[in-house]
Amino acid sequence: MSDKYVPLTGYERQTEDQMRETVEGLREELSRRRSIRMFSSDPVPRDIIENCLKVAGTAPSGANHQPWHFVAISDSEVKQKIREAAEEEEREFYGGRASEEWLDALDPLGTDDHKPFLETAPWLIAVFAQRRGGEVVGQDKKNYYVTESVGLATGMLITALHKAGLGTLTHTPAPMGFLTEICGRPKTEKPFVLMVVGYPDPNCQVPTHALIKKELSEMTTFI
Ligand code: IYR
C-alpha cells in the first residue's frame, strides 16, 4: 500500500457560533498589534522566541520547501554591529538615496536614520530567504514562491510574537546585505526582514498615522 497520503488528523470542526467567537477574539486581539520603535531592554526568555519561530515554521510554502532561515540575535556585540551597519545605510537613504515621494510617505511615521532600538530590544530576528534548498536541510533543489512563502512565515511569526505579549517592528534597512555577513549566512540567502522583538518601553508612543486602517468594504469585494 502507498504511504503517499495519510488521513487528515488534528482538524477540529467548530460550530458556526464557535467560529464567530473564535475569530472575533482573534480580530480583537490582533487589532491591538502595533509596530513599535521604543523598546524596553527587559530580557525575553529564549524558549518563548523558539516557540514563536516554531509557529513561523508551520507556514505553507512552495512545494513545502520551507525556504526560510531565522537568525535570532540576543548578543549585544552582534546587535551593536547590526545597528552600526543599519544606521550607515539609513544615513544614505534619508540623506539622498530615497525619492522625495518616499520620504513624504515616511514623514507621518517620523522615522529617521537613528535606530537605537536595534541595541535596546532584547532580540533581533533576521529572516533570510533561500533561493535553493528543499524540504530537508542540506538539499540543493530550486525553491518556489520564495517571497510569498517567507512573507507568510514572517506574518505568522509576528502573530505568534504578538500573542506571546511581545512588541515587534518589521524593520527593513535598505539595502540589508550586511546581515548576510554579520549573521554568517551563505550568499545564496537573501535577507528578507529584520524583526525587532521585545516589550514596549513604558513610555512607548506610536505614530497616529499607523492607526488609520481601511474598512472591510474598502479593502474587500464579495462577488
Ligand atoms: N528603512 C528605512 C525607511 C523606512 C521605509 C519604510 I516603506 C517604512 O515603512 C519605514 C521606514 C527605516 O527603517 O527607517
What's the CA-to-centroid distance between 111 and ligand 1, angstroms?
7
Task: Tabulate helix, strand, coil % of the chain (nearest 5).
Answer: 45, 15, 40
How remote is the CA of residue 171 from the centroid of ligand 1, in Å? 7
- Site to probe by mutation for ligand 1, drawn from 89, 106, 124 as the one with most ligand atoms within 8 Å of Cβ, is 106
Predicted confidence band of residue 103 (pLDDT cuts 50, 70, 90): very high
Segment 65-71 shows an average pLDDT of 98
The pLDDT value given to residue 174: 83
Is the CB of 106 inside a 6 Å radius of any atom of ligand 1?
yes
* CB count in 10 Å sphere of residue 170: 14
76, containing H or E segment: helix 76-92
Residue range 12-36: mean pLDDT, rounded: 98
CA of 210 from ligand 1 middle (Å) equals: 13
pTM: 0.97
CA atoms within 13 Å, Cβ hemisphere of 49: 21
- Could you tell me if residue 162 is left (phi over 0), alpha (psi between -120 and 50 degrees) or otherwise beta? alpha
SS3 assignment, position 133? strand
* Domains delineated in the chain: 35-219 (3.40.109.10)
Strand partners, 167: 198
Does 174 sit in the ligand 1 pocket, CB within 6 Å?
A: yes
pLDDT digits 0-9 by tens, 122-142? 999 999 999 999 999 999 999
Residue 191, C-alpha cell as written in the block: 535577507
**Ligand 1 close to Cβ of residue 173 (< 6 A):** yes
Nearest CA to ligand 1 atom 13: 173
* Backbone phi and psi for residue 142, each to the nearest 5 degrees, phi listed first: -70, 135
In the block, cell 529564549 appears at 46
157-203 residue pLDDT tens: 999 999 999 999 999 988 899 999 999 999 999 999 999 999 999 99
The pLDDT value recorded for residue 1 is 63
